[in-house]
Amino acid sequence: MTATIERGSATAPIKTSADTPAKPAPRRSGGFLGSSNGKKAVMAVTGAAMVLFLIGHMVGNLKAFLGADSFNEYASFLRTMGEPLLTYRVALTLVEVGLVAAVGLHMWAAISLARRAGKARPVKYAAKRKSQASGYAVHTMRYGGVIILLFVVYHLLDLTVGVVNPAGFGSTPYDRLVEGFAPSRWWVTVFYVLAVVMVGLHLRHGLWSAFQTLGLAGGRSYRPLKIVAAGLSALLVIGFLVVPVAVMAGVIK
């Protein structure tokens, strides 16, 4: 079917939708997990699991203030938890496998959401507008995430395995802590401070994004939830950093 519109003295035929058969809308494969909401849910669930781990880890680290025995006892509990139902280190290995899966899924969802955002806007904004998808936040999240991952690898070699720690492999966790952050190795503490601050920034933005995804962050709750995201992140950063700083200052020795 063809209609005619008149513009001045000229006439031009235009096509109406009845001329072309309707194309079926492109179908996204992958169901819920293939959708943006599904990926955001994966980010939120894996993020929450990592935050729970971080809270537990931070509280456990504070045992260093109670002395070597208390700290080593906590480190040994990590390996013996679940006994006698489970054998030595089984529960800890399950936690480790869960954490690796959480990190992997979190990164997968982040990368595929970023790709989708890029495809939705193949042409860059003409104005240099800092949007959620191209501004400061996306850079802190993307590069911050990679730095945190590299930090965790170094951190495991340092305090779990001991291969980059002066106390060495066969030492106790407390010795690795005290020798690793010794005043003469102040640069290690500086590195940990930077990395943990990065974790805090990542967490603050992640929590804020999760509140927005859940539709909680509008109207009256905007400011209180911004404060919750910043406050919880700051608490975690301070709780983590008091230990290396106290070792470097000679308070824990």
> Which of 57, 130, 142, 223 is close enough to bind ligand HEM by CB under 6 A?
57
Nearer of residues 38 and 60 to ligand HEM, judged by Cβ: 60
Whose CB is nearest to ligand HEM? 75
Q: Would you count residue 244 as binding ligand HEM (CB under 6 A)?
A: yes
Q: Is 144 exposed, middle or buried (0-12, 13-18, 19+ CB in 10 A)?
A: buried
Q: Would you count residue 248 as binding ligand HEM (CB under 6 A)?
A: no
User: Reduced to 3 states, what is the DSSP secondary structure of residue 167?
Assistant: coil
Q: Would you count residue 78 as binding ligand HEM (CB under 6 A)?
A: yes
Stretch that binds ligand HEM, among 112-120, 125-133, 207-215, 240-248 (CB under 6 A): 240-248
Q: Answer yes or no: are the C-beta atoms of 176 and 162 closer than 8 Å.
A: yes
In sequence order, the 6+-apart residues with CB closer than 8 A to the CB of 30 are 38
Nearer of residues 106 and 155 to ligand HEM, judged by Cβ: 155
Helices 173-180 and 222-248, interaxial angle, to 10°?
Answer: 90
> Which of 160, 163, 231, 253 is close enough to bind ligand HEM by CB under 6 A?
160
Q: Are strands 10-15 and 2-7 parallel, antiparallel or unpaired?
A: antiparallel
Which helix or strand (DSSP H or E) is residue 5 part of? strand 2-7
> Which of 96, 132, 157, 251 is close enough to bind ligand HEM by CB under 6 A?
96
Nearer of residues 79 and 226 to ligand HEM, judged by Cβ: 79
Q: Would you count residue 19 as binding ligand HEM (CB under 6 A)?
A: no
The minimum distance between CB 96 and ligand HEM, in angstroms, equals 4
Nearer of residues 225 and 236 to ligand HEM, judged by Cβ: 236
Within residues 119-148, the interface with ligand HEM by CB under 6 A covers: 148
Within residues 190-229, the interface with ligand HEM by CB under 6 A covers: 192, 196, 199
> How far is residue 15's CA from residue 119's CA, in Å, rounded to a whole number?
29
> How far is residue 239's CA from residue 226's CA, in Å, rounded to a whole number?
20
> How far is residue 251's CA from residue 253's CA, in Å, rounded to a whole number?
6
Nearer of residues 161 and 227 to ligand HEM, judged by Cβ: 161
Phi/psi of residue 3, each to 5°?
-115, 160
Q: Which two tokens stand for residue 156?
A: 């495991």
Phi/psi of residue 10, each to 5°?
-85, 150
> Which of 173, 175, 211, 225 is close enough to bind ligand HEM by CB under 6 A?
173
> How far is residue 11's CA from residue 4's CA, in Å, rounded to a whole number?
7
Site size toward ligand HEM (CB under 6 A) is 22
Residues making contact with ligand HEM (CB under 6 A) = 57, 61, 75, 78, 92, 96, 99, 148, 152, 155-156, 159-160, 173, 177, 192, 196, 199, 240-241, 243-244
